[in-house]
Structures are given as C-alpha cells and as structure tokens.
Amino acid sequence: WNGLFDEVKRLGEEGLPIMGTCAGLIILAKKVLGATIGQRFLELLDVEVQRNAYGRQVNSFEAPITLSFSPDPFPGIFIRAPRILKVHGRARPIAFYKEEVVGVEQDNLLGLAFHPELSNDIRIHEYFIEKVR
C-alpha cells in the first residue's frame, strides 16, 4: 500500500488528474480534523476538512447542490460526508450546499464531499473529463 500511496502522490504532484469523492476528498486534503493517529493523506488539495461532519450513516441525506459551472441544481448524495472547513491557496470552490462549500477544484484535482457517482446526473463527471483532456 505504501508504494502505491507514494506513487499516487507523486503522480498527483506531477499533474495526474485526480477526483476524490467523500473519503477521496479526505485523502486529498492538506489538513484533516478527526483523523486516526497514523493515518496518511496525500496532502495535495489546499483544503481543511473534518471527517464525518454531517453525522453517522443514519444521518445520510440527499440535497440539491449548486454548481459554479451549471445553472441547474445537482442531486448531492451525502453519506457520512466530510465538511470542507477552509479553502485556501490554489483551491477554489465549485459546489455548494446552501452556503457551504462541498466541492473544490485545484489545478488537476477535484475534491467533493458528496457522491456524484450515485446519482444519474453525469455533469460532474463530464466536467472532470473536460478538465483532464
């Protein structure tokens, strides 16, 4: 696992496109609150996140998300989702739940607190594909 982890970090630093959803956002984050001792992170994305900030599995929910690149709401599915507490450096917000940032973009990276892959809406995946072309 360590060899793979180090290789993904190196490739991310070199510009490999990476999209992290939910736990993937946590792994990409530069700072994580609520992390387990010894847990490693890629520390590539200029955000601070808090693990499981919306509650336990039973508190999972679906809500409309506002996207910076599309006029129509996106069906956000939150399952034990992390909360983005701070966005800094080169990261910029691209998705919002109410007034809260739930998605960011930074160069070759996309980090989302929700699960776009669980909806039938492919706009975020299309956005990522366009980004990496």
Which one is catalytic: 115, 125, 126, 130? 115
User: Does the annotation mark 115 as catalytic?
Assistant: yes
Closest CA to 50 of 20, 25, 79: 25
Place of tokens 């929910």: 61
Helix (H, G, I), strand (E, B), or coil: what is residue 38? coil
User: Does the annotation mark 125 as catalytic?
Assistant: no
CATH topology of domain 2-132: Rossmann fold (3.40.50)
Residue 53 vs residue 28, higher pLDDT: 28
50-100 residue pLDDT tens: 998 876 776 789 999 999 999 999 999 999 999 999 999 999 999 999 999
User: Does the annotation mark 117 as catalytic?
Assistant: yes
Which one is catalytic: 7, 13, 100, 117? 117
